[in-house]
Structure 1
Amino acid sequence: MEMKSRKLHKIIGLTLVLPMLGWTLTGLVFFIKPGYQGAYEQLSVKHHPLSQGLNVTPKQSWQEVRLVNTILGAHLLVKSSHKVEHLDPVSLLDKPAPTNLQFKALLNDAFSDNKARYGDIVHVDGLSAQTSTGVKVTLDWHSLTLSQTGQDTELINLLYQVHYLQWTPFKGINQVLGIFGLLLLISLTVLGVRLYIKPRS
């Protein structure tokens, strides 16, 4: 019986070599967090003081109203129970999406605080842009918010997938792998304790 336990303990241990190595190395990265500040920087549209006073009469359905000014002018951001709207503060009509030139101006204004990370805009596709430093920036026009993803962001996300055994593109299989890995780890611990205690009994 003891020989079987030792053999099983050895097999499980060898099976867990790669996962344990992955857990250890990625856990160390998550603890130290190298490069996290840039990888997950909250890039924001830069707001400027309003150049002129604007009086807006809110509608009854509006739950939240924000009036902001950017390099493109004034924006009225409205949140109701069903949707978020980006309106022209004068006409109260939907504010049209920016042209390529306006989009670039908005991004360059946002990049000005961290030019080293974002560099210059090299390609624009709709409301997404690629920069010379390999960062992809996307604008959500309805909420007037920016999101950015660089090669460092993708690398850290990959480390998270390794750490949590998300080794396939299928969520169901990844869940099975995670549960199986935990069961193997518990079994390894139980067998190890059993082998330690048994000679002393």
Structure 2
Amino acid sequence: MKAEILSLCSVLQLSPKLYALEERDTIFPQKLWTEIRVLRSILGGRLLVLVDGQWQHLDSNTLKPQTPPTEQQQTLLLSDAVSNNPERYGRIVGREGEVYITSTGVELTLDWNTLKITQSGTDTKFIGLLYKIHYLQWLGNKQINTGLGIVGLLALSLLAYHGFILYTRRRREAS
């Protein structure tokens, strides 16, 4: 169920801005690679490969793991990504650990191996709250949540039964 909510949000997922590929040498796939992504960001050409279910970010010339980006490079990549929607994201104003914070309060995290950006803001927290309410995750205790759900269903059933009784009485009085 959570995957359904995430898939709805992925339509609006923030991604690095991609540019047209430059003409380059051919990359010969290795046997262990099950998927290859060749793309170009503001940081230049990128080669992402899937090996044993794990993404790796490789140097396209040497085919060795790419060194992680500096804080300045990450800020540049994220700033470029948020530039498409400045009213939603504003600009990058700070960093707390691996999380970059924008002037509008959105928190961004970059996964270097996949070049995916995850975001969290007030709307994400609201969707999470709705998810918890819908799937009876109000409290930290599963038994209490289940008990409250059963009480809610019983109350709903009694309300529906009472409504049906009122409806049938009124029908009898009208005839």
Q: Taking structure 1 as the reference length, what is the TM-score of the superposition?
A: 0.70
Q: Name the structure 2 match of 1:91.
A: 62
Q: Does structure 2 conserve the Cα–Cα contact (< 8 Å) formed by 1:164 and 1:178?
A: no
**Secondary structure of 2:152 counterpart:** helix
Q: Name the structure 2 match of 1:154.
A: 125
Q: Distance in 1 between matches of 2:22 and 2:74?
A: 21
Does residue 166 (structure 1) correspond to residue 137 (structure 2)? The answer is yes
Q: Distance in 1 between matches of 2:39 and 2:27?
A: 12
Q: Name the structure 1 match of 2:80.
A: 109
**Secondary structure of 1:190 counterpart:** helix
Q: Does structure 2 conserve the Cα–Cα contact (< 8 Å) formed by 1:54 and 1:89?
A: no
Task: Report how far residue 93 of structure 1 moved.
Answer: 1.2
**Secondary structure of 2:74 counterpart:** helix
**Secondary structure of 1:76 counterpart:** strand
Does residue 143 (structure 1) correspond to residue 118 (structure 2)? The answer is no
Task: Report how far residue 62 of structure 1 moved.
Answer: 1.4
**Alignment partner for residue 184 of structure 1, among 143, 155, 163?**
155
One-letter amino acid of the counterpart of residue 84, structure 1: W
One-letter amino acid of the counterpart of residue 98, structure 1: P
Q: Distance in 2 between matches of 1:125 and 1:112?
A: 21
**Alignment partner for residue 93 of structure 2, among 98, 122, 127?**
122
For each residue in 1:38-85, what CA deviation from the matched residue of structure 2 results, as whole angstroms up to 9, or x when unmatched? xx7311111112234132111112111111111112111111333221
**Secondary structure of 2:46 counterpart:** strand
**Secondary structure of 1:84 counterpart:** strand
Task: Report how far residue 165 of structure 1 moved.
Answer: 4.2
Taking only the aligned residue pairs, the percentage that are identical comes to 44
Q: Does structure 2 conserve the Cα–Cα contact (< 8 Å) formed by 1:100 and 1:124?
A: no
Q: Which has the larger Rg?
A: 1
- Unaligned segments of structure 1, at least 5 residues: 1-35
Q: Name the structure 2 match of 1:59.
A: 30
**Secondary structure of 2:114 counterpart:** coil
Aligned-CA RMSD value: 2.7
- Unaligned segments of structure 2, at least 5 residues: 1-7
One-letter amino acid of the counterpart of residue 41, structure 1: L
Q: Name the structure 2 match of 1:50.
A: 21
For each residue in 1:133-161, what CA deviation from the matched residue of structure 2 results, as whole angstroms up to 9, or x when unmatched? 10001111111111111123223432443
Q: Distance in 2 between matches of 1:92 and 1:126?
A: 29
Q: Distance in 2 between matches of 1:153 and 1:104?
A: 22
